[in-house]
Chains A and B, each alone.
Chain A
Amino acid sequence: MIDSPIAREFLETGRCQSCPIIDMHAHYGPFSGIYMPNHTPEQMLATLDRCGVELIVSSGHTALEDVVRGNAEMLSITERYPGRWYAYLVYNPHYPAEGQAQLEEYDRHPTLVGLKFHPSMHAYPLTGEAYRPALEFAAARRLIVLTHTWGDSPYNGPEHLAQVAERYPEVTFLAGHSCHGEFQKCMEVARKYPNVYLELTAAYAVRGLIEQMVETVGAHKIVFGCDLPWFDPHYAIGCVVMAHISDGARRAILRENALRILEGRRRV
């Protein structure tokens, strides 16, 4: 049986005192194509407690559909839980005026730590001109940008990621799902660009991938996420803590890297 103290503690208690988790890829609220039993703020916080998650960063499901209503909704929630719950401002390139107005209000919302792009859902390439105002804004403030990435995508594949990483070195890009399906190319991008991190949502379930990421890119370039309220964090945690990697790597992925990325970007 696995000999990792971190894994043993999670198995026995559901949490790890010495390694509280930082979840960099979460959402909030119900969503069209899936029934989610635990999507209210109270339910999500109960899940965080149950799984030993210290803090999460979310983009609201409503915001992915309607940036005006949804970003406001997300902020109204995170501002009730300062220090525990942070937000990404969703930027939809099809609504540049609304996006610009929300960027101008960014500084008034201390729970924001960055921007969220979902090029696949918005059917617009990450490299497209309409993302430029948001990327320039993020670069000027050295923000985090969590972008959905997926393999073989016309909108957000590894090549798109590489282009924006090259163009905006001041931005810290989290590659949501690590370009699922084109993992090797995504690892190459993360290895080449210091400002690109691999984010594990859904990718964690692929057997052998976490080991490969640690070996070829380094544990210091991987962050934890699980799309809460979609997925039970314990599933994702199990994939990380039972991977064939060191406890140092587990700690880096589950906590330390995210804390380092958030340093200076958390305002509450």
Chain B
Amino acid sequence: MAGISYFDCNVSIGRPKSGVYRPCPTAGELLAEMDWVGVDQALVHHALMRGQSPVVGNQVLVEEIAGEERLVGSWAILPPQTRELPQGEDFFTAMAQAGVRALWAFPMEHRYLLNRLTFGPFLDQVAERRIPLFIPRNAGGTDPVATWQLVSQLLAEYPKLTLVLAAHGPWGEDRYFRPLLERYPRFYLDISRYELDGGLGELVSLYGAERLLYGSNFPANAMGGPRMMLARAEISEEARRAIAGDNLRRLLQEVQL
């Protein structure tokens, strides 16, 4: 498996007020841990984007990872109606200028409905521009049914959206997400905490390696687990290479800003 380049789709930096046992405050500490486990690149968000506000956190993220070529930025969104973030074209122009290539939605923390009523043509634009939108597994609270109903409804309303369910959680939730993988070709899974023994191999055989993205959910979770799991998964080298990083690279290259 020499030459496989790992690109973690789900890491954050900052000082979250609670809930993370050992936070990772800086880009420098993140890069050191990536070096330790053998990860080349990471798509990064910032704790302030989630815990305080995207108004603050989006900019802080850009400042914190400035000059770090191995780190790619992502921003969080808010409903257009409150006009807290740049509107329409201005938002995508700002993303381009900041080098940001992906978006996050935190509807639970930011208290909004992630649906067409709220986001209307904005998410049509996100879909058209092929910008990956990441949603954490707790988007609907701790109840998995609420999150998966949210994801199911969102995809029904925006079937062309590039949607990534992140931080899956240790309980295999295949009974929820497999119908979505079947139905929506641009629905992806971050494999962080998808620890199910034999799960990766089965997903690859059923849906193809291109639907899975390597992620760690660092620093809430250790990087070593998914790194070892993917390195030793019983899948082809081609599939491993795709999941480890090539799928995410392809998605980010497709982005039109």
Q: Which residues of A contact B (CB under 8 A)?
A: 1-2, 10-11, 14, 33-38, 43, 47, 50-51, 183, 202, 204-210, 212, 228-244
User: Are A232 and B224 in contact, with the CB atoms below 8 A?
Assistant: no
Q: Give the bracket for the number of chain B residues in contact with chain A.
A: 35 or more
* Contacting pair A235 B195 (CB below 8 A): yes
Q: Which residues of B contact A (CB under 8 A)?
A: 20-22, 35-38, 170-172, 174-175, 193, 195-202, 218-229, 231-234
Kindly list chain B residues whose C-beta atoms are within 8 Å of the C-beta of A230: 170, 172, 195-197
| Distance in angstroms between the alpha carbons of A47 and B229 in the assembled complex | 12
Overall SS of chain B's interface? mixed
With the chains together, A10 CA to B232 CA distance in Å? Answer: 9
Q: Are B195 and A243 in contact (CB under 8 A)?
A: no
Which of A36, A51, A210 contacts B196 (CB under 8 A)? A36
Nearest-neighbour CB distance to chain B for A3, whole angstroms, equals 9
Complex alpha-carbon distance, A212 and B22, angstroms: 10
Top 5 closest A-B pairs, CB basis?
A: A238-B228, A242-B224, A208-B22, A37-B198, A38-B198
Q: Once the chains bind, are B21 and A205 in contact (CB under 8 Å)? A: no
Cβ-defined partner of A234 (8 Å) among B170, B219, B232: B232
Could you give 26 example pairs across A and B, Cβ below 8 Å? A10-B228, A34-B171, A35-B174, A35-B196, A36-B196, A37-B196, A38-B198, A47-B197, A183-B21, A202-B170, A205-B170, A207-B219, A208-B21, A210-B222, A230-B196, A230-B197, A231-B197, A232-B196, A232-B198, A232-B229, A234-B229, A235-B226, A238-B231, A241-B224, A242-B37, A242-B223
Contacts of A232 in B (CB 8 A): 195-200, 229, 233
Q: Which residue of A lies closest to B38 (CB)?
A: A1
**Bound Cα distance A33, B174 (Å):** 10
- The reply to whether A235 and B228 contact each other, CB–CB distance below 8 Å, is yes
